Amino acid sequence: MAPKGGKVNLAELVGSVGDRSIVDQGSGTADGVFRGNIPIDQLVANPRNPRDTVGDLSDLASIADRQLQPATVVSRAAWLNLWPGDTSELGDAKWVVVNGCRRLAAAREFGRPGLDAVIRDSIANDRQSVLWAAIVENIDRRDFDIIEEARAVELMVEEIGNATEAATRLGKSKGWVSQRRALLNLAPELQEKLRAGDLAVREARALAQVPFAEQLKAWQAAREKESEPTRGREPNDAPPPRLDAAKTAVALSRALRRFQAKPGSVAAAVVESFTPDETRELIDALEDRLKSAGS
């Protein structure tokens, strides 16, 4: 501690580094402390990272000369307090990178000897907070594919034990969480097609409701049906015109007023006309509209 005159006792300062350093020990008093150029061999990527791979690192090649944003790390002690079984995954590392795993990988790839980081042991108060910090950095990112996203959501639900609370923590609707989790019920072949963009998300959600052993057949049958020529229509016949979204909304609004439809009747009509996935999409859309109207 510095004397009242404001001078720093250098002997005490020297004694505070090394094994006795509060920073190296990950003490709560060091939370938020910036550490520049932490040696790469003292860092390890988050073993609970929801991403399968770090992907193409070419966009981070400039890290060899300059790091634009510090990583977020927690101390080894704080991490093992939550996951004591991760000792082998951490190796000899003193710090676990929670946010910035791609930056760490790029530093190794392009020869940067150290990484700037901010110590945030406060996020290691519980497992949920660590998972949340790792997930929110990636969720909705273009390079975070939808299956990785679904696995991340599943991890959060498993840790919290409740899908509704997980949705709240992630800032998403219950329907969105349910839809993402459903994608994990897809056959591996269909998951790969979804990741590659060969399978639409809406179709994937519908296939996820089909028994596992029948999913590929259902997908192939749908492809064959799409490739069949349309029957009962002359070649020059134009398809029936489709209303745009605004006109459709006006037409539906007028119909509801004309029939003096009650909420229960509308719900019954929706269930009769929509698939379960479409019904969940409607619920999500209504929640978004209500939030917008209340803001």
246-264 pLDDT, tens per residue? 556 666 776 777 667 778 7
Residue-level pLDDT at 85 = 93
Average pLDDT on 103-112 reads: 93
Query: Where, residue-wise, is CATH 1.10.10.2830 in the chain?
Result: 145-225+274-295
Contact 98, 72 (CB under 8 A): yes
Query: Model confidence at 140, in pLDDT bands (50, 70, 90)?
Result: low
Query: Where, residue-wise, is CATH 3.90.1530 in the chain?
Result: 10-125
Average pLDDT on 192-218 reads: 86
What type of residue sits at position 38?
Answer: I
Residue-level pLDDT at 1 = 43
Helix (H) or strand (E) holding 217: helix 215-227
Contact 78, 124 (CB under 8 A): yes
Closest by alpha carbon to 209, among 179, 243, 176, 244?
179
Whether the per-residue pLDDT at 216 is higher than 70: the answer is yes
Q: What is the mean pLDDT of the chain?
A: 77
Please, how many CA atoms are within 13 Å of residue 19, restricted to the half-sphere of its CB? 0
Measured N-to-C along each axis, helices 263-273 and 276-294 cross at an angle, to the nearest 10 degrees, of 140
Q: Which of 25-34, 84-93, 202-211: highest mean pLDDT?
A: 84-93
What type of residue sits at position 239?
Answer: P
CATH number of the structural domain 145-225+274-295: 1.10.10.2830
Average pLDDT on 126-155 reads: 78
Query: Model confidence at 159, in pLDDT bands (50, 70, 90)?
Result: confident
Residue-level pLDDT at 21 = 43
Choice among 1-5, 108-112, 228-232, 246-250 with the minimum mean pLDDT: 1-5
- CA 135, chain centre distance (Å): 4
Residue-level pLDDT at 78 = 93
Torsion of CA 118, 122, 126, 130, to 10 degrees: -20
Q: What is the DSSP pairing of strand 43-45 with strand 95-99?
A: parallel
SS3 85: helix
Q: Measure the N-to-C terminal CA separation of the chain; round to a whole number of Å.
A: 49
Higher pLDDT, 47 or 244: 47
Higher pLDDT, 249 or 32: 32
Contact 73, 95 (CB under 8 A): yes
Residue-level pLDDT at 111 = 92
Query: Model confidence at 86, in pLDDT bands (50, 70, 90)?
Result: very high
Contact 75, 121 (CB under 8 A): yes
CATH number of the structural domain 10-125: 3.90.1530
Contact 243, 255 (CB under 8 A): no
Whether the per-residue pLDDT at 185 is higher than 80: the answer is yes
